[in-house]
Amino acid sequence: MLVSLHIENVATIKTVDIDFDRGFTVLSGETGAGKSIIIDSVNLLLGDKSNRELIRTGEDSASVRAIFTALSDKKINDIKECGIDCDGELEVYREISANGRNIIKCNGRAVPTYTLRQIMKNLVSIHGQNSSLALLDEDTHIRYLDSYAENEALRLDYEKCFNELNNAVNEQRELIIDEREKARLTEDLNRQIKEIESAKLKDNEEDELLAARTRIKNIEQTSKYVKSVYKNLYQNDKAPSASERIDAAIKALEALNETEQSDKIAENINRLTGFKYEIDDIAIEIKSIIEDIGEDPAEALDSIENRLALISRIKRKYGSDIKEVNAYCEEQKKRLDEIKKADKRIAELSEIIKKAKAEAMQKAAALTRSRKDASKKLSEAVLSELKYLDLKKVRFEIAVELKKQLSSDGADNVTFLIAANTGDELKPLDKTASGGELSRIMLAIKSVFAGKDDIDTVIYDEVDTGISGATSERIGNRLHMTAKGCQVIAVTHSAQVASNADQHILIYKTDVDDKTQTFCKTLNKEERIKELSRIIGGIDVTQNAVATAAEMLEKNTERTNI
């Protein structure tokens, strides 16, 4: 429920704080005092388009802040699904600026307008001469009827079945392609797979080729150093190499050992022999650097460049690196395999769809029966309320008609129909009902739904406009009754409506520093009698008006306490 509303710099409001109670609250005041500004401010919180004309003259921005408490577990979960932390209380803030900036926050977190609308649509609804649009939207009619029918279990059961059917249909649709398209896709996949596999790409191959290319481009310098290492270590035509010198030393030690027969000499022979083998291995391994290139470096470089060009061409088509290209190839193999298996899966899905559709139709039929049964009772209940609200000639019916195909909410189109006058044809609400009638129709529906509707706060904007005193009394009674199931706030010009309220807030304006400013005040009993007297008597308030106001308030207070 809405517990507080803070408004700054909206139209004639400089700053206003309003605390709301449970039950039925009325807002009253002279014409032009600023009651519509309160509604405009709440509409900003509901996600209405920002209007810079709402900003108070001379100010750069305007803002509205509201706090909601006593949220149900479902609403808390809905708010959390929108990415907002919530422990049972919600603070909503919106600021509009003259430069076009729009700031929206829920519990301190910035959110876009569509998220604000998603959150607020389940918390507050506003109904008036121009704001009962939800009732005109036929998509909402089925939700009203389902709420009255209390068929949530049936709906959830059907939705689960419909989702399974829909998933199977979508999967089959993706698999079904004509034979020419299948042949074209198969040929294309085979071509791609063949191109990649024939290249025989290996991980790290590109890096190795780039390194080899660098070596070949530096072949002259490389060859000079390699030959120097080879000559000095292993074989040199001009002077003995390290290997040859060590070999000569080994032979000298062997000759020495024949005469001396020393273990120490034999050990050193073995050590030098090991050194010689290591030096020989180093020389041969270093020489292989240029032997790998071959006799013709230009030919080797050309081969590397061709291989790198092939890798680059394949990468441009299938991936950023060889690993990604090979992964793409495996993915295409799977797709090719799926196409080959598609016919079998399509046949399987046909059986699944057949069974799921039959089951969905059966569950949709049960849902239809519950709606038709509830539509008769709801129509009668709403019609009874409409007659009570002095719309005695109005006929109201709920049409439940089958759709051409199943949808997520079943097999039914639900439409609220109305005939405003005797002899008129029943037509959809948006084709017939006037603004005042819509407000009373909404009040009638809310009266029927008292305690069942999921909306916590309902605001009626001048629902009593152009209505007689007797009818206003009935409207006031119904607003008070509806407030037992949810918080009701009404902007009114009717003393009969206002006297039924649990809380009465006066909207008034006065000049402050040569500038008009709107204020709000919660009235006590004496102040309520004064305001009711003003509504009854107009400019000249007589003692009779005061007495009537006191009597109305006393009577409704006694009724409330019964």
Contacts of 207 (CB under 8 A, 6+ apart): none
How many angstroms separate the CA atoms of 27 and 401, rounded?
41
Look at residue 285 in the predicted model and tell me its pLDDT: 85
Q: Which single residue is written with the structure tokens 């919180």?
A: 45
Contacts of 289 (CB under 8 A, 6+ apart): 215, 222, 226
Report residue 528 as tokens: 């309520």
Asked if 157 contacts 369 with a C-beta cutoff of 8 angstroms, the reply is no
Contacts of 41 (CB under 8 A, 6+ apart): 5, 7, 10, 13, 64
Q: Is 419 helix (H, G, I), strand (E, B) or coil?
A: strand
The secondary structure of residue 273, as a DSSP letter, is H
Q: Mind spelling out the 3-state secondary structure of 22-42?
A: CCEEEEECCCCCCHHHHHHHH
How many angstroms separate the CA atoms of 444 and 144, rounded?
13
Work out whether the CA dihedral 236, 242, 248, 254 comes out positive or negative: negative
Dihedral over alpha carbons 358, 360, 361, 364 (to 10 degrees): 160
Displacement of CA 98 from its chain's centroid (Å)? 29
Contacts of 466 (CB under 8 A, 6+ apart): 436
How many angstroms separate the CA atoms of 12 and 59, rounded?
11
How many angstroms separate the CA atoms of 234 and 372, rounded?
104
How many angstroms separate the CA atoms of 27 and 126, rounded?
14
Report residue 30 as tokens: 């002279």
Report residue 290 as tokens: 């240029």
Other C-beta atoms closer than 10 Å to the C-beta of 214 total 11
- Return the H-helix or E-strand segment holding 457: strand 457-461
Q: What is the bridge-based pairing of β-strands 487-491 and 503-512?
A: unpaired
414 closest CA partner among 160, 161, 152, 137: 137
Q: Is 321 helix (H, G, I), strand (E, B) or coil?
A: coil
pLDDT along the chain (562 residues), means of 10: 96 95 94 91 92 92 96 92 93 94 95 93 77 67 89 94 94 78 88 93 90 75 75 81 86 85 86 89 80 66 89 92 92 88 86 95 96 94 89 89 93 91 83 67 78 77 77 88 88 92 95 93 95 87 90 78 52
Instruction: Work out the angle between the directed axes of helices 469-482 and 322-388 (0-180°, nearest 10).
Output: 130
pTM for the model stands at 0.63
Instruction: Work out the angle between the directed axes of helices 322-388 and 179-199 (0-180°, nearest 10).
Output: 140
How many angstroms separate the CA atoms of 506 and 519, rounded?
8
37 class by beta-carbon count within 10 Å (0-12 exposed, 13-18 middle, 19+ buried): buried
Asked if 483 contacts 443 with a C-beta cutoff of 8 angstroms, the reply is no
How many angstroms separate the CA atoms of 117 and 92, rounded?
11
Displacement of CA 475 from its chain's centroid (Å)? 39
How many angstroms separate the CA atoms of 338 and 311, rounded?
28
- Return the H-helix or E-strand segment holding 103: strand 102-106
Look at residue 558 in the predicted model and tell me its pLDDT: 65
The secondary structure of residue 47, as a DSSP letter, is T
122 closest CA partner among 67, 72, 66, 50: 72
The secondary structure of residue 534, as a DSSP letter, is H
463 closest CA partner among 131, 136, 138: 131
Q: Which single residue is written with the structure tokens 């603070």?
A: 91
> Within the chain, what is the greatest distance between any pair of CA atoms?
152
Look at residue 143 in the predicted model and tell me its pLDDT: 87
Query: For the chain, give me the number of helices (H) and strands (E)?
Result: 19, 15
